[in-house]
Amino acid sequence: MKNILDDKYFMREALKEAKKAYEIGEVPVGAVVAIKNNIIARAHNLTQTLNDVTAHAEMQAITSASNYLNGKYLIGCSLYVTLEPCVMCAGAIFWSQLDRIIYGASDLKRGYSLHGDLLHPKTKVFRGELEKESIDLLQSFFKSKRK
Amino acid sequence: MKNILDDKYFMREALKEAKKAYEIGEVPVGAVVAIKNNIIARAHNLTQTLNDVTAHAEMQAITSASNYLNGKYLIGCSLYVTLEPCVMCAGAIFWSQLDRIIYGASDLKRGYSLHGDLLHPKTKVFRGELEKESIDLLQSFFKSKRK
Q: pLDDT of A28-80, one tens digit each?
A: 999 999 999 999 999 999 999 999 999 999 999 999 999 999 999 999 999 99
Q: Does B113 touch chain A (CB under 8 A)?
A: no
Is B131 annotated as catalytic? no
Q: To the nearest whole number, what is the mean pLDDT of chain B?
A: 96
Tell me the chain A residues in contact with residue B54 when contact means C-beta distances shorter than 8 Å. Answer: 54, 59, 62-63, 92, 95
Contact present, B86 and B56 (Cβ < 8 Å)? yes
CB atoms within 10 A of CB A31: 33
Closest chain A CA to residue B64: A52
Task: Assign 3-class secondary structure to chain B.
Answer: CCCCCCHHHHHHHHHHHHHHHHHCCCCCCEEEEEECCEEEEEEECCCCCCCCCCCCHHHHHHHHHHHHHCCCCCCCEEEEEEECCCHHHHHHHHHHCCCEEEEEECCCCCCHHHHCCCCCCCCEEEECCCHHHHHHHHHHHHHHHHC
Tell me the chain A residues in contact with residue B94 when contact means C-beta distances shorter than 8 Å. Answer: 87-88
What is the spatial distance between Cα B57 and Cα B65, in angstroms, rounded to a whole number? 12
Chain B, window 5-34: residues with a beta carbon less than 8 angstroms from a chain A beta carbon? none
Contact present, A102 and A126 (Cβ < 8 Å)? yes
Q: What is the pLDDT of residues B59-73, one digit of tens each?
A: 999 999 999 999 999
- Residue B125: is its pLDDT beyond 80? yes
pLDDT of residue B118: 97
Bridge partners for B101 per DSSP: B79, B125
What is the percent of chain B with per-residue pLDDT over 90, rounded to a whole number? 95
ipTM of predicted complex: 0.95
pLDDT of residue A1: 46
How far B13 CA sits from the closest chain A CA (Å)?
A: 23
- Residue B57: is its pLDDT beyond 70? yes
Catalytic residue, from A13, A23, A26, A58: name it: A58
Q: How confident is the model at residue B146 (pLDDT cuts 50, 70, 90)?
A: confident
Q: What is the pLDDT of residues A1-32, one digit of tens each?
A: 455 689 999 999 999 999 999 999 999 999 99
pLDDT of residue A3: 55
Query: CB–CB of B53 and A72 under 8 A?
Result: yes
Q: What is the pLDDT of residues A81-133, one digit of tens each?
A: 999 999 999 999 999 999 999 999 999 999 999 999 999 999 999 999 999 99
Tell me the chain B residues in contact with residue A77 when contact means C-beta distances shorter than 8 Å. Answer: none
Tell me the chain A residues in contact with residue B51 when contact means C-beta distances shorter than 8 Å. Answer: 66-67, 70-72
What pairing do the DSSP bridges indicate for beta strands B30-35 and A124-127? unpaired
Q: What is the pLDDT of residues B9-29, one digit of tens each?
A: 999 999 999 999 999 999 999
What is the spatial distance between Cα B10 and Cα B81, in angstroms, rounded to a whole number? 9
Q: How confident is the model at residue B1 (pLDDT cuts 50, 70, 90)?
A: very low
Q: To the nearest whole number, what is the mean pLDDT of chain A?
A: 96
pLDDT of residue B90: 98
Chain A, window 70-89: residues with a beta carbon less than 8 angstroms from a chain B beta carbon? 70-73, 86-89
Closest to B91 (Cβ–Cβ): which among A51, A66, A87? A87
What pairing do the DSSP bridges indicate for beta strands A77-83 and B38-44? unpaired
Q: How confident is the model at residue B147 (pLDDT cuts 50, 70, 90)?
A: confident
What's the pTM?
Answer: 0.96
Q: Does A51 touch chain B (CB under 8 A)?
A: yes
Q: Does A67 touch chain B (CB under 8 A)?
A: yes
Q: What is the pLDDT of residues B77-106, one digit of tens each?
A: 999 999 999 999 999 999 999 999 999 999
Query: CB–CB of B51 and A59 under 8 A?
Result: no
Query: CB–CB of A87 and B86 under 8 A?
Result: no
pLDDT of residue A47: 98
